[in-house]
A and B are shown apart, each in its own frame.
Chain A
Amino acid sequence: MARDLLRVENLSTRFFTGEGQVNAVESVNFDVREGEILGIVGESGSGKSVTALSLVDLVESPGRITAGQVWLRNPDLAEEFPEAADGSFVDLRELPNGVRRSLRGPTFSMIFQDPMSSFNPSITVGEQIAEAVEVQRRATANPRSTRSRTQGYGLASYLVDGLAPGRDYTDEASHERAVELLEQVGIPDPAERADEYPHEFSGGMLQRAMIAQALAGEPDLLVADEPTTALDVTIQAQILELLREIQTERDMSIVLITHDLGVIARMCDRVGVMYAGEIVERGTLEDVFDDPIHPYTQGLIGSIPDLDDPAPRLQPIEGNVPSLLDSEMGERCYFANRCPKAMQECLQPPGEREAGGEEHAARCVLVDREYDELDALPDNYFGSGGERG
């Protein structure tokens, strides 16, 4: 079995907003193995994107990782920072900021959902990729400095940019490497396309360019947050194929975040299902798709019309995705108010339970017992909380 590259333990990320504390990610556990594609699936507001951002340490204020550890296999760093180490793993949250930042690129890289808004519209695509290459090169030369052009604001850099626009940050070698990367992600005429601006690219091509940029640092782990959601199905198929190719070629790990169970089924070895900030069920693809335990997972699968076998009637989950405001969440199974099998026991937080097999686990009392109507909660127990969506 492949070694773990990353272990996430009890990770919680909260947002401290004017309306109150939002528990976006709540005690999440999972691991990512070397060379695997791990899928995280959930509906909007389930906390899947914030989980991704927490992994690469990009959670912005008012959000903050409030608890838990993200263990990364890195024997060198483990030796250098013994106080943050456990065997050959280091806890990213205990590392100094500079070190943590230097891991972005060569260790972690991320691609986002909307390629159109992820690129700077006023700089050519090639230049933006070359910049990523340059940052990596400089970081390798001097691991503690990762100054990038974007940090230079203010009058001085404005004047410098105005007087000598263009490639003042990158050099010819980085630019050549950028063209090479564009070629690797299947962009025709990469040398010419590199000099074009983002608006001259189609959505699919721009997503390829973003992947090229992410590959600039030769990352061990690529976090892909809804990489194909903005694309049409035929283009989605191309991008998924590309991701699989580069994953196999480079023996990279990918954390693939999506709302589309089909994308998960095509790409992933293992999968975690998120609901209301928690991973409610995880396991191998077969565990989760063929033998789901959590009623939410079952509901999610029942909600999707099957392309090859249209069922006469869909089985939706009643109600809406809940609010993640701490004050409104309470202490119970967060799915209980929509759950067709909610019982008295569900008024306690269920905790994660192993469900046989090496991987399969769910946050649901049904792991350990059968549903019993005698224990069922009355229909209107949660009042109008069960309102239809």
Chain B
Amino acid sequence: MSSDRALLEVEELKKHYAGNATLLDRLLGNERQSVKAVDGVTFEVERGETLGLVGESGCGKSTTGETLLALEEPTAGDVRFDGESVFEMTGDERDEFRRRAQVVFQDPFSSLDPRMTAGEVITEPLVVHDIANRAERRERAKELLERVGLSAGQIDRYPHEFSGGQRQRIGIARALALDPEFIVLDEPVSALDVSVQAQILNLLEDLQEELGLTYLFIAHDLSVVRHISDRVAVMYLGQIVERGPVDAIFEDPQHPYTEKLLESVPRADTSERGRRVDALQGDVPSPRNPPSGCRFHTRCPYAREACRTEVPDTYEAGVPGQRTACFRAVENHEYWESEPLEAGATDAADPDGEESPAEADD
């Protein structure tokens, strides 16, 4: 094992969903229009850390999580888990990966089989991987129930007998059953009330410390992401626009989208009343037909001609380890010489809301 490498390395990962081609399209040989849910995403998750993947609905964050676990077939790119390419794994290797990497889903109401008891839900991974005998599995389930803050006596209850928070605890217990190293947490608290959400966040933190887990924490709630993450990646329209250490991202964002996103969040504080919020205008464009150049240029307050024609690379900016996909981070970039785009002109180029991107994801 190469322990100096990141546990998970994602490189130029793409996931496109092919649209439905009509018969006419096929006859005419038209190219099928695809939804570019994830379009060239690169990041790594270090051992024992929590990487927060944050973005608005439809930005591709959940698809990223599913694809890197090989739950979805990737369109292009590579994911290496502990140095091994996930998509090339076969047989035992694949089984081993499936044991070491787990997932917890957003909706505790639809992600548990209503006809299975808590114990059956939790031990199912053990059955699938053919680990331990019946009695041992039951013991393990009891242990896990206690570990996630439920009582062993609840092992024979069905999901409908539990509250949302309790069900999410069962989902977490199931993910822990195989002693994984890495867990993708896909919006694990967004369906929960704030008081219960705080309980689950504390539980996740405790588990990470005790079991040395590595998390990919996918969420749209920036306060939650700030609270739990060590590093953060911000997604917009299938791409990562900025990533870096959590404090740097939240205190000194380098990408205009991150900046605007942070500005939009209402703070639960009395000073919020007087705060001037310069809200981002317009809607997220459709991932079927993303804008040219920088995908954010249609809504960006700093957009210039260069942003419309040229695709930004990622550049070092801010603190070490912080990278942004914005020309403004480059001192001598031609961006600074090019004409600012008029707000009105960009609006016309982007008739907002033509297609709600929410349907592509989440």
Q: CB within 8 Å of B: which residues of A?
A: 43-44, 188-189, 200-205, 232-238, 240-241, 259-266, 285-286, 289-290, 299-308, 310-311, 313-318, 320-321, 384, 387-389
B242 CB, min distance to chain A CBs, angstroms: 15
| Contact indicator B266/A266 (Cβ below 8 Å) | yes
- Say yes or no for B273: interface residue by CB 8 A criterion: yes
Which residues in window 6-58 of B have CB below 8 A to A? Answer: 56-57
Classify chain B's interface size. Answer: 35 or more
Among B57, B151, B270, the residue within 8 A (CB) of A289 is B270
Complex CA–CA separation, A189 to B250 (angstroms): 36
- What chain B residues lie within 8 Å of A302 (beta carbons)? 198
| Contact indicator A238/B194 (Cβ below 8 Å) | no
Interface centre among B149, B227, B269, B358 (most CB of A within 10 A): B269
Complex CA–CA separation, A387 to B162 (angstroms): 11
Look across to chain A and name the residue whose beta carbon is closest to the beta carbon of B224: A305
- Say yes or no for B275: interface residue by CB 8 A criterion: yes
- Say yes or no for B277: interface residue by CB 8 A criterion: yes
A19 CB, min distance to chain B CBs, angstroms: 14
B52 CB, min distance to chain A CBs, angstroms: 12
Q: Produce 1/0 per residue, B338-362, CB < 8 A to A.
A: 0000000001000111101010000
- What chain A residues lie within 8 Å of B264 (beta carbons)? 233-234, 236-237
Complex CA–CA separation, A262 to B56 (angstroms): 18
| Contact indicator B356/A262 (Cβ below 8 Å) | no
- Say yes or no for B155: interface residue by CB 8 A criterion: no
Complex CA–CA separation, A43 to B194 (angstroms): 7
Given contacts A233-B222, A266-B275, A314-B227, contact A44 B270 (CB under 8 A): no
B219 CB, min distance to chain A CBs, angstroms: 11
- What chain A residues lie within 8 Å of B273 (beta carbons)? 265-266, 285
- Say yes or no for B267: interface residue by CB 8 A criterion: yes
Look across to chain B and name the residue whose beta carbon is closest to the beta carbon of A238: B279
- Say yes or no for B72: interface residue by CB 8 A criterion: no
Complex CA–CA separation, A265 to B356 (angstroms): 29
- What chain A residues lie within 8 Å of B56 (beta carbons)? 232-234
What 8 pairs across the A-B complex have the smallest Cβ distances? Answer: A389-B165, A202-B353, A262-B266, A316-B198, A305-B227, A261-B268, A265-B272, A237-B279
| Contact indicator A303/B358 (Cβ below 8 Å) | no
| Contact indicator B165/A238 (Cβ below 8 Å) | no
- What chain A residues lie within 8 Å of B228 (beta carbons)? 305
A35 CB, min distance to chain B CBs, angstroms: 16
| Contact indicator B266/A303 (Cβ below 8 Å) | no
> Can you report 10 A-B residue pairs in the complex whose CB atoms are below 8 A from each other?
A202-B353, A237-B279, A265-B266, A289-B268, A304-B198, A304-B268, A307-B223, A310-B246, A388-B165, A389-B196
A48 CB, min distance to chain B CBs, angstroms: 12
- What chain B residues lie within 8 Å of A189 (beta carbons)? 351
Among A43, A237, A306, the residue within 8 A (CB) of B277 is A237
| Contact indicator A259/B220 (Cβ below 8 Å) | no
- Say yes or no for B292: interface residue by CB 8 A criterion: no
Among B57, B277, B354, the residue within 8 A (CB) of A232 is B57
Given contacts A188-B352, A201-B353, A232-B57, contact A315 B265 (CB under 8 A): no
| Contact indicator B279/A241 (Cβ below 8 Å) | yes
Complex CA–CA separation, A233 to B269 (angstroms): 17
B353 CB, min distance to chain A CBs, angstroms: 3
Look across to chain A and name the residue whose beta carbon is closest to the beta carbon of B191: A44
Complex CA–CA separation, A299 to B284 (angstroms): 35
- Say yes or no for B208: interface residue by CB 8 A criterion: no
Given contacts A202-B283, A299-B195, contact A314 B201 (CB under 8 A): yes
Complex CA–CA separation, A92 to B267 (angstroms): 36
Given contacts A202-B283, A203-B358, contact A307 B198 (CB under 8 A): no
B124 CB, min distance to chain A CBs, angstroms: 23
| Contact indicator B194/A308 (Cβ below 8 Å) | no
| Contact indicator A316/B193 (Cβ below 8 Å) | no
Known: A260-B268, A316-B202. 14 other contacts (CB 8 A): A43-B194, A200-B354, A205-B353, A232-B284, A236-B264, A238-B281, A240-B266, A262-B266, A265-B272, A286-B270, A304-B198, A308-B267, A321-B195, A389-B163
- Say yes or no for B70: interface residue by CB 8 A criterion: no
| Contact indicator A388/B149 (Cβ below 8 Å) | yes
- What chain A residues lie within 8 Å of B150 (beta carbons)? 388
| Contact indicator A265/B269 (Cβ below 8 Å) | yes
Given contacts A202-B283, A232-B56, contact A316 B195 (CB under 8 A): yes
B181 CB, min distance to chain A CBs, angstroms: 24
- What chain A residues lie within 8 Å of B197 (beta carbons)? 303, 316
- Say yes or no for B226: interface residue by CB 8 A criterion: yes
Complex CA–CA separation, A265 to B270 (angstroms): 6
- What chain A residues lie within 8 Å of B199 (beta carbons)? 316, 318, 388-389
| Contact indicator B165/A263 (Cβ below 8 Å) | no
| Contact indicator A237/B280 (Cβ below 8 Å) | yes
Look across to chain A and name the residue whose beta carbon is closest to the beta carbon of B148: A388
| Contact indicator A232/B220 (Cβ below 8 Å) | yes
A201 CB, min distance to chain B CBs, angstroms: 6
Look across to chain A and name the residue whose beta carbon is closest to the beta carbon of B169: A388
- What chain B residues lie within 8 Å of A203 (beta carbons)? 356, 358
- Say yes or no for B98: interface residue by CB 8 A criterion: no
Q: Produce 1/0 per residue, B278-293, CB < 8 A to A.
A: 0111011000000000
